[in-house]
C-alpha cells in the first residue's frame, strides 16, 4: 500500500514529539533562544496522527497552529520541556526529540528588567548547563522497548559527528541534518541521514519535512515490532 493513502500502522501507539526551540529568560522581557521553527516536529506529529497514533506534541515557542487530533503541551524553557517530555514519555511507545533544546541557560534571572547605567559597561552573562533530555530518557527508559529518536544539525563531518552523537546520547535513531543552503532552520524542506544504533544508515533525499517524518515513523514502526 502506498503511503499517502494512510495506513493506520501506528494505531494503539502513544508517541511523543518535541518541537520548536526553548527560550531561556534573562529578565521579564529578554531571553536566549534559537532559530528553530518547529516545522519538522509538527510534521512528525501530523504524520503520526494520520498513521493512527495518539500523539503528544511538546511545543516550545512555536508560532504554528495546533495540529488536529494531537495533544499539545506548550513549554518555554528546557527545564519545562524536560518535565513535559518525562511526564508524557511515561506510557509512550516512542519519543522523538525534534526540539532545539538550549544547552545552557542564564545562571540568574532578574525579576525586574535589566537597565543600562550611564558610564558602566554591561555585566557578562553567566551560563549554567541545562539537563540533556534525550540522554536522560535514553539512559532511563520509561518502558522496555520504547523507541527513542534524536535530531542533530551538523555543519562538518556530518556522519562521523552523527555516529559519535548517537552513541553518546544512547538513543535508537538519530536524524542528522547537514546545515547549509536550502537546509536551514525555518525552511519548508529538509535532507537528512537517519543513523541507527544497529549500524543502519537511511538517506532521505531533499524534500518536504513530511517525507522525512514518514521515514522516521517507518523506522520507528519497524523497531516497535
Binding site for Ca ion (CB under 5 A): 103
Buried b (16+ CB within 10 A) or exposed e, 130-143: bebbbbebbeeebe
Quick one: 94 or 133, whose CB is closer to ligand CTP? 133
Min CB(111)–ligand CTP separation in Å = 25
Site string for ligand CTP, 150-189 (x = CB under 6 A): xxx------------x------------------------
Q: Which of 36, 56, 62, 130 binds ligand CTP (CB under 6 A)?
A: 130
- Between CA 15 and CA 47 the distance in angstroms is 11
- Between CA 171 and CA 166 the distance in angstroms is 6
Active site annotation includes 177: no
**Out of ligand CTP, Ca ion, none, which partner does residue 16 contact, by CB within 5 to 8 A per kind?**
none
Residue 147 interacts with ligand CTP (CB under 6 A): yes or no? no
**Sole window of 109-117, 132-140, 200-208, 210-218 interacting with ligand CTP (rule: CB under 6 A):** 132-140
C-alpha triplet 132, 104, 157: angle, nearest 5°: 70
Residue 71 interacts with ligand CTP (CB under 6 A): yes or no? no
DSSP secondary structure letters along 157-213 = SHHHHHHHHHHHHT-SEEEEEEPSTT-STT-SEEEEEEEETTS-EEEEEEEEHHHHH
The three cell numbers locating residue 85: 517530555
Min CB(99)–ligand CTP separation in Å = 5
- Between CA 189 and CA 191 the distance in angstroms is 7
The three cell numbers locating residue 27: 529578565
Residue 101 interacts with ligand CTP (CB under 6 A): yes or no? yes
For 218, phi and psi rounded to 5 degrees?
-60, -45
**Out of Ca ion, ligand CTP, none, which partner does residue 78 contact, by CB within 5 to 8 A per kind?**
ligand CTP
Min CB(22)–Ca ion separation in Å = 11
131 marked ligand binding residue: yes
State the number of binding residues for ligand CTP (CB under 6 A).
Answer: 13
Min CB(200)–ligand CTP separation in Å = 18
Amino acid at each position: 500500500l502506498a503511503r499517502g493513502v494512510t495506513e493506520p500502522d501506528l494505531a494503539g501507539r502513544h508517541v511523543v514529539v518535541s518541537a520548536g526551540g526553548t527560550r531561556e529568560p534573562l529578565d521579564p522581557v529578554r531571553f536566549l533562544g534559537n532559530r528553530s521553527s518547529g516545522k519538522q516536529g509538527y510534521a512528525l506529529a501530523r504524520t503520526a496522527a494520520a498513521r493512527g497514533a495518539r500523539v503528544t506534541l511538546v511545543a516550545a515557542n512555536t508560532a504554528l497552529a495546533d495540529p488536529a487530533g494531537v495533544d499539545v503541551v506548550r513549554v518555554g524553557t528546557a527545564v519545562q520541556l524536560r518535565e513535559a517530555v518525562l511526564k508524557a514519555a511515561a506510557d509512550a511507545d516512542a519519543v522523538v526529540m525534534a526540539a532545539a533544546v538550549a544547552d545552557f541557560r542564564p545562571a540568574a534571572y532578574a525579576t525586574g528588567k535589566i537597565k543600562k547605567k550611564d558610564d558602566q559597561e554591561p555585566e557578562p552573562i553567566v551560563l549554567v548547563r541545562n539537563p540533556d533530555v534525550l540522554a536522560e530518557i535514553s539512559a532511563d527508559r520509561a518502558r522496555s522497548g520504547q523507541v527513542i529518536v534524536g535530531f542533530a544539525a551538523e555543519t562538518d563531518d556530518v556522519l562521523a559527528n552523527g555516529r559519535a552523537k548517537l552513541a553518546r546520547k544512547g538513543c535508537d535513531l538519530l536524524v542528522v541534518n547537514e546545515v547549509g543552503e536550502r537546509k536551514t532552520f525555518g525552511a519548508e524542506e529538509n535532507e537528512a541521514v537517519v543513523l541507527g544504533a544497529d549500524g543502519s544508515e537511511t538517506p532521505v533525499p531533499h524534500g518536504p519535512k513530511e517525507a522525512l517524518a514518514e521515514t522516521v515513523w517507518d523506522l520507528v514502526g519497524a523497531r516497535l515490532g
